[in-house]
């Protein structure tokens, strides 16, 4: 069997199986921390179930580097390919939805942030005509916060991570919870930049009304949209308006994150992947040999 084909098949079978236990973990409460801190925590919760998949991928890549091509005939391709079918379906579904999210028309909203690589705020004359200067500025600050954090790209990646955990409902709940706290975090950032909470609440309500009065595509549900709008999830709208109408709590001021502090999680992740690859190169063969031999005996 071709080495790369075997690597991809093993990644689908073993990686797909490794994801399942962590997907079933209950969602941890985000606590009463500031929305910015809670948003980062919710973001990590989206990716934790996929951690075994990434580590296994690095481990298998390390193993494959020392494996001859083609792999000796102790492998039973039919057994491995049959076992990979459920995970192939999940992967194809995730890929199709990821492409569709890129090519579909953006949500029909008066203001939103679009663009994966270079996010930009798309602004409709509706806002200027129907709202006063304060709410328009507040909406603009909210969208600028989406731009600073490259949220369209993050929403797209989060949707892919969620789709790779399909069909478990817990994954979708984690995604929905992250989208809700994301909007609160951007609200607080906009208020920290000088926007008034009441102005922002007025803008959110006006756009939500326009969305509900418009075509079905203007619905407030995020769906498969990857553009970061002002209104987010309709379910949390009431709670969000109440929050915006209250003074910005002290706890909402996020701790200052230095560039070094932001780089630490990435450095840890890269170190873990390199370690997994090294372990796979050193000890992958003794571990995989009995597994492959077992499939050959079926
Ligand atoms: Zn938003």
- From ligand 1's centre to the CA of 208, what distance in Å? 12
What's the gap in Å between 210 CA and the centre of ligand 1?
16
Q: Which residues surround ligand 1, an ion (CB under 5 A)?
A: 183, 186, 230
Question: What separation in Å is there between the alpha carbon of 222 and the centre of ligand 1?
Answer: 11
What are the boundaries of each domain within the chain? 3-297
Question: How much is the mean pLDDT over the chain?
Answer: 85
Minimum mean pLDDT range among 49-63, 87-101, 281-295: 281-295
- The neighbouring-strand residues paired with 121 are 113
- Tell me what the mean pLDDT of segment 180-193 comes to: 93
* pLDDT at 136 (0 to 100): 93
The answer to whether the CB of 253 falls within 8 A of the CB of 192 is yes
The larger pLDDT score, comparing residue 81 to residue 243, is at: 243
Whether residue 251 has pLDDT greater than 60: no
Q: Determine the distance separating the centroid of ligand 1 and the alpha carbon of 239, expressed in angstroms.
A: 15
In the structure, what pLDDT confidence band is assigned to residue 218 with cuts at 50, 70 and 90? very low
Residues 6+ apart with CB under 8 A from 149: 186
What average pLDDT does range 256-276 have in this prediction? 82
Which of the pair, 298 or 208, is modelled with greater confidence?
Answer: 208
Give 127's pLDDT tier (boundaries 50, 70, 90).
Answer: confident
What is the 26 CA–ligand 1 centroid distance (Å)? 27
Mean pLDDT of 49-64: 94
Q: How far is the CA of 227 from the centre of ligand 1 (A)?
A: 9
What's the average model confidence in pLDDT over 112-117? 92
Q: What percent of the chain is predicted at pLDDT more than 70?
A: 85
**CA 229 to ligand 1 centroid distance, Å:** 5
51 CA to centre of ligand 1 in angstroms: 28
Give the mean pLDDT of 168-197. 92
pLDDT average, residue stretch 77-99: 90
Question: What pLDDT band is residue 220 in, cutting at 50, 70 and 90?
Answer: very low
Closest C-alpha to 292, from 41, 80, 68, 37: 80
Distance 73 CA to ligand 1 centre (A): 54
Task: Report residue 235's pLDDT band, with 50, 70 and 90 as the boundaries.
Answer: low
CA angle 2, 4, 9 (to 5 degrees): 95
* 232 vs 142: CA distance, rounded Å: 12
Task: Measure 149 CA to ligand 1 centroid, in angstroms.
Answer: 11
Cβ proximity of 159 and 98 under 8 Å: yes
Distance, CA 294 to ligand 1 centroid (Å)? Answer: 52
Distance in Å, CA 92 to ligand 1 centroid: 29
Distance 288 CA to ligand 1 centre (A): 47
pLDDT at 189: 94
**Ligand 1 centre and the CA of 125: distance in Å?**
18
Please tell me whether residue 126 adopts helix, strand or coil conformation: helix
Residue 212 has pLDDT above 90, yes or no: no
Q: Tokens 């129907």 appear where?
A: 130
Rounded to the nearest angstrom, the distance between the alpha carbon of 59 and the centre of ligand 1 is 38
Percent of the chain with pLDDT over 90: 48
CA 147 to centroid of ligand 1, rounded, Å: 10
Q: How far is the CA of 61 from the centre of ligand 1 (A)?
A: 39
Q: How many Å lie between the centroid of ligand 1 and the Cα of residue 75?
A: 51
Q: Give the whole-angstrom CA distance, residue 122 versus residue 112.
A: 5
Could you tell me the distance, in angstroms and rounded to a whole number, from the CA of residue 223 to the centre of ligand 1? 14
- Mean pLDDT to the nearest integer, 251-271: 72
Q: Specify the range with the lowest mean pLDDT, choosing from 33-37, 169-173, 193-197, 200-204.
A: 33-37
């Amino acid at each position: 069997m071709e080495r790369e084909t075997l690597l991809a098949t093993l990644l689908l079978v073993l990686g797909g199986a490794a994801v399942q236990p962590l997907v079933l973990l209950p969602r941890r409460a985000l606590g009463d921390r500031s929305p910015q801190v809670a948003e980062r925590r919710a973001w990590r919760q989206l990716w934790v179930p996929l951690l075994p998949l990434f580590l296994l991928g690095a481990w298998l890549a390390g193993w494959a580097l020392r494996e001859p091509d083609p792999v000796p005939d102790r492998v039973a391709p039919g057994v491995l390919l049959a076992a990979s079918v459920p995970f192939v379906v999940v992967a194809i579904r995730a890929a199709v939805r990821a492409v569709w999210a890129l090519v579909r028309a953006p949500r029909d909203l008066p203001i939103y942030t679009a663009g994966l690589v270079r996010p930009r705020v798309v602004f409709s004359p509706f806002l200027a005509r129907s709202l006063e200067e304060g709410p328009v500025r507040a909406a603009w600050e909210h969208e600028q916060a989406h731009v600073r954090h490259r949220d369209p790209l993050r929403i797209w990646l989060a949707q892919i991570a969620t789709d790779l955990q399909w069909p478990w409902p817990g994954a979708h709940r984690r995604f929905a919870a992250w989208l809700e706290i994301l909007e609160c975090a951007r609200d607080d950032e906009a208020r920290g930049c000088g926007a008034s909470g009441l102005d922002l609440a007025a803008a959110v309500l006006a756009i939500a009304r326009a969305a509900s009065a418009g075509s079905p595509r203007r619905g407030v549900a995020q769906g498969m949209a990857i553009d970061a709008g002002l209104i987010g999830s309709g379910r949390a709208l009431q709670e969000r308006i109440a929050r915006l109408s209250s003074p910005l709590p002290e706890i909402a001021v996020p701790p200052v994150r230095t560039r070094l502090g932001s780089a630490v999680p990435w450095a840890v992740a890269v170190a873990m992947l390199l370690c997994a690859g090294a372990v796979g190169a050193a000890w992958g063969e003794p571990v995989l040999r009995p597994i492959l031999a077992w499939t050959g005996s079926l």
